[in-house]
C-alpha cells in the first residue's frame, strides 16, 4: 500500500520545522501531488511521578491557541541525545529540575500521520527527586504544579488538558499503573 515518491522539494527549513512538497505514485498507478509533509524532530513526553507519587504538570502559554495549557514535561529529541529515553531524562531535568530512578517506555504516537513525519515517544518516569532548579529554554516560561492521580483523572474527565498527545500519554501511563482499564 506504500506510495512511491517521484519527487521531493524542500520549500522551507528552520531549526524545528521543515516543509516538503512531494509528488507520488499510488500502488494502483495514479500519479498525484502536490502533497505537503511537515518534518519535525521526534518528540518525547512523560508522565513524571515524584517519589511521593505526584504528577508533574506544566502550565504554559501556547501562542497558536492563545491559551495557557496544562501539559506534561517533554520536548524534542536532539541530535546530541542517544535516543528517546536520554531525551526525556534531559528534558525532565531541564524543565522541572527532577531526576528519576526509572523510565518505562509506553509507546509511540503521531500527532497527524497524514502530514507530520515525526513521532512522540511516551514514558512513565518514576521516583522523581528535585536535584536542581529548572533551566527552561530561553523561549519557555511555565509554572510547575504537582498533582495527585485523582486530580489528573479529573483534569482529563473535565477536558482541561487540550494537548491531545499529552492526554494519550496520560491514558497509557494510567493503564500501565492499573489506574484505568479499557477492557
Please indicate, yes or no, whether residues 74 and 137 belong to a single structural domain of this protein: yes
Indicate which CATH number applies to the domain containing 129: 3.90.79.10
pTM of the predicted structure, to 2 decimals:
0.93
pLDDT of residue 137: 86
pLDDT of residue 100: 98
Please indicate, yes or no, whether residues 24 and 49 belong to a single structural domain of this protein: no
| 81 touches 114 (CB < 8 A) | no
Please indicate, yes or no, whether residues 26 and 64 belong to a single structural domain of this protein: no
Q: Which residue has the cell 530561553?
A: 138
- Residues of the chain scoring pLDDT < 70: none
Distance CA 116, CA 39 (A): 6
Please indicate, yes or no, whether residues 65 and 149 belong to a single structural domain of this protein: yes
Please indicate, yes or no, whether residues 95 and 153 belong to a single structural domain of this protein: yes
| 61 touches 140 (CB < 8 A) | no
Please indicate, yes or no, whether residues 111 and 56 belong to a single structural domain of this protein: yes
Sign of the CA dihedral 122, 141, 40, 15? negative
pLDDT of residue 13: 96
Q: Would you call the peptide bond into 127 cis, given omega within 30 degrees of 0 as the criterion?
A: no
Query: Considering its fold, how many domains does the chain have in total?
Result: 2
pLDDT, tens only, 163-174? 999 999 999 999
pLDDT of residue 18: 96
Please indicate, yes or no, whether residues 35 and 83 belong to a single structural domain of this protein: no
Domain of residue 17 covers 4-39
Does residue 181 fall inside a structural domain? no
C-alpha cell at 21: 512538497
Please indicate, yes or no, whether residues 99 and 52 belong to a single structural domain of this protein: yes
Amino acid at each position: 500500500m506504500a506510495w512511491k515518491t517521484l519527487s521531493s522539494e524542500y520549500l522551507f527549513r528552520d531549526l524545528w520545522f521543515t516543509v516538503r512538497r512531494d509528488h507520488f505514485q499510488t500502488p494502483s498507478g495514479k500519479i498525484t501531488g502536490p502533497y505537503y509533509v511537515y518534518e519535525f524532530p521526534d518528540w518525547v513526553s512523560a508522565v513524571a511521578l515524584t517519589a511521593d507519587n505526584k504528577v508533574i504538570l506544566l502550565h504554559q502559554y501556547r501562542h497558536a491557541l492563545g491559551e495557557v495549557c496544562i501539559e506534561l514535561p517533554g520536548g524534542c529529541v536532539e541530535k546530541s541525545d542517544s535516543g528517546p529515553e536520554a531525551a526525556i531524562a534531559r528534558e525532565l531535568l531541564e524543565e522541572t529540575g527532577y531526576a528519576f530512578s526509572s523510565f518505562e517506555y509506553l509507546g509511540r504516537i503521531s500527532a497527524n500521520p497524514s502530514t507530520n513525519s515525526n513521532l512522540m515517544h511516551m514514558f512513565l518516569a518514576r521516583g522523581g527527586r528535585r536535584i536542581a532548579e529548572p533551566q527552561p529554554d530561553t523561549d519557555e516560561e511555565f509554572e510547575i504544579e504537582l498533582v495527585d492521580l485523582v486530580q489528573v483523572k479529573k483534569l482529563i474527565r473535565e477536558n482541561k488538558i487540550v494537548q491531545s498527545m499529552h492526554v494519550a500519554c496520560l491514558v497509557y501511563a494510567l493503564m500501565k499503573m492499573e489506574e484505568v482499564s479499557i477492557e
